[in-house]
Structure 1
């Protein structure tokens, strides 16, 4: 039947997509459309595509001198040929919505990103909208990177919640495993560690699993480590030194050459936290008080320097909760500075 119907070779571009996704350097690829009519009308309707006649695809490929056809293909290989054969049936039609349910289900991991890129390319060229469901870490990671990921989940009441990374980037940390820890970052003190952690979380919460943040009592120990900590080529664990912003103008002895960065702004971290005190009033209820009572307390410590101000706010409203809240408020309002720091650390 295939010989009677005839074989056609897909475009060279389509063959390139197949090769990348499936991972096989085909010698040849041929597709045929067979006029087969399933016995059940409901099944036949599914295979009518854009016409009145049910049509079933049949594939023939050659790889490393061996020719084989659809029934001999693995499910992953066959599903990709089938998917792109279907797309070809509608290639001349614009403004369609393509809905795909786990198209990567039978593919090896390395083919997943190529599949997504090929689908995006096809849909962009044809002005289609692409929506797909997936459990693939590769595909989710790529979607998160481009703020195109949407998480659907059912809450305790049975209501479906919709969360997208464009408005809630932290959702990435919920659905993807943490990255392996491969770097240690030294900072001056606890407040610096809190600010650095908030800045990283604001950009990509998963990156925190890569990092161990170590803090001490001021920048003196960091300067000694920076001079003396040896560095070998291609270290498995990398070290970095993140000084407070007010240390930018102070000369450094970089010793073994470990990288140095600075927290955002040219101020010390205590000043950074204090700068968003008015916005903390909106969170007063979570600290067991009211905005008015919190505002009155702030008035009583107005004359304190920033270091003592942070200590007293921490003592009053539970340090391990209120200081990260202040840092998160600041980071949320200073996305560009946070991204610049994370890029520098990367």
Structure 2
């Protein structure tokens, strides 16, 4: 039986960003076009989202990629009215083997690799197919000549989940080779508590979602390496349904290993996609550029897109706050504005807040961040809780960085801090023997820096040291596990 519980959907999201994919599109490089010119884009495994202002070229980009990879089994024909004449070089991996494809979107491309490219673009697709059905004079005679297939119990359950509608039954007729633009089209007949209607007279939102169900089912039954391209899936849909559509996408990514490229303006669509998988499309000096949102998240503000809040992090003191923020800055899954932050005041207060706040809320977590020196001491107190994480090592953040400074070369420290070797050496001498709570306060005074600036730079240096990569990765895994 299909499991549509929210907890299971959350598991699918986690799996989607951890699993191996048989098809990975890694790099796109455009050439010769007036719009895309020499634009290049590095993609992540699984799902990648493209965001940008209206008119920047997202639709042209989506259609160029689809035209390049479209095959006989794709769900619609090529677009004939591309605005740009770019050529595209794709670097991809299929079942562990690397390939490079040189493609021309406005010509037929012979692709030896088994790639099934599908396009779901409801804003243009759904009105077009509904008009086709309504304008054909002999349409009823066509339907009578074709066989309909009723959905199974599990299929009906999934379709009802996506549409937020209780159907008594749904039947699908797959119409093949009848329309020039579509090799195949699904025609839906539904029964809702005795009221029957079909694709010709249902709302655009409902028809869009049923088509989405059909294309997901098509992927599930295919044995090919699938790339699903989605353009503005939020069209016609309220926020609740956008969330469900995304959850079904996560299920498809996690269970089928489908690669997905999606363009959207919707925060509801983007809220569960890591910033590292979001790419901002811009026009700068008449050239198309792509910026990864993980390292250029300020550009999201221009679009009015803010990071959805994953939760509230509460911590012991300011040093823990600065160390946690330095870690989150390099996280593959989160950015700084993914969270709200609260200083509890002490180790005991963090524990009290852990007990005070609810352990789970829908799409929002209350997460205790303990210093590393609490691991053994709090083991018994934390039994029964899952929403907590320890900062790396078995030391407090200040003690950890002090220990690191003792073995790090002065020239490297001085270069990173932006001070002379002599100044850094003198600052270390002044702070020798101080309590770890006072150490960086005095060092900052000696170096004429703010405490926040100095400690953040030193945390960044520790995090970037390859000897610490294992500890950093374990922190990310622990943080990901703790987020509900």
The partner residue of 1:109 within 239, 243, 250 is 239
> Structure 2 unaligned runs (5+)?
1-138
> Structure 1 unaligned runs (5+)?
38-43, 50-54
Greater percentage in strand: 2
- Structure 2 match to 1:76: 205
The partner residue of 1:319 within 434, 451, 476 is 451
- Structure 1 match to 2:224: 94
The partner residue of 1:45 within 180, 186, 193 is 180
How many angstroms does 1:191 deviate by?
2.5
- Structure 1 match to 2:158: 17
- Structure 1 match to 2:475: 338
User: Could you tell me how far apart the structure 2 residues matched to 1:274 and 1:32 are?
Assistant: 69
What does 1:1-346 align with in structure 2 at a 5 Å threshold? Answer: 1-2=139-140, 3-12=143-152, 13-33=154-174, 45-47=180-182, 49=183, 57-85=186-214, 92=222, 94-119=224-249, 129-144=259-274, 149-154=277-282, 156-157=284-285, 158-163=287-292, 175-179=305-309, 185=314, 187=316, 189-199=317-327, 203=331, 204-205=334-335, 209-215=339-345, 244-246=371-373, 263-277=391-405, 278=408, 288-289=418-419, 292=421, 296-297=425-426, 300-301=429-430, 303-305=432-434, 307=436, 309-315=439-445, 316=447, 317-331=449-463, 333=469, 334-339=471-476, 342=479
How many angstroms does 1:93 deviate by?
6.4
Whether the 8 Å contact between 1:94 and 1:127 is mirrored in structure 2 is: no
How many angstroms does 1:101 deviate by?
0.8
Change (3 A) 1:335 1:139: farther
Q: What RMSD over aligned residues (CA atoms) do the two structures have, in Å? A: 5.0
Whether the 8 Å contact between 1:200 and 1:208 is mirrored in structure 2 is: no
CA deviations on 1:219-251 (whole Å, 9 max, x unpaired) are: 5xx65x68999x779699x99886654466779
Whether the 8 Å contact between 2:148 and 2:171 is mirrored in structure 1 is: yes
User: Could you tell me how far apart the structure 1 residues matched to 2:227 and 2:170 are?
Assistant: 27
User: Could you tell me how far apart the structure 2 residues matched to 1:10 and 1:16 are?
Assistant: 13
CA deviations on 1:266-312 (whole Å, 9 max, x unpaired) are: 3233222234444896685675445x456545664584446354234
How many angstroms does 1:142 deviate by?
3.2
Secondary structure, in 3 states, of the residue corresponding to 1:18?
helix
CA deviations on 1:38-97 (whole Å, 9 max, x unpaired) are: xxxxxx5322x2xxxxx6543221112111122321111111233455677785562343
Change (3 A) 1:297 1:190: same
Bigger RCO (CA 8 Å, 6+ sep): 2
Number of residue pairs matched?
318
Change (3 A) 1:196 1:117: closer
State which structure, 1 or 2, has the greater radius of gyration over its C-alpha atoms.
1
Whether the 8 Å contact between 1:22 and 1:77 is mirrored in structure 2 is: yes
How many angstroms does 1:124 deviate by?
7.6
Secondary structure, in 3 states, of the residue corresponding to 2:272?
helix
TM score, norm. by length of structure 1: 0.66
Whether the 8 Å contact between 2:231 and 2:262 is mirrored in structure 1 is: yes
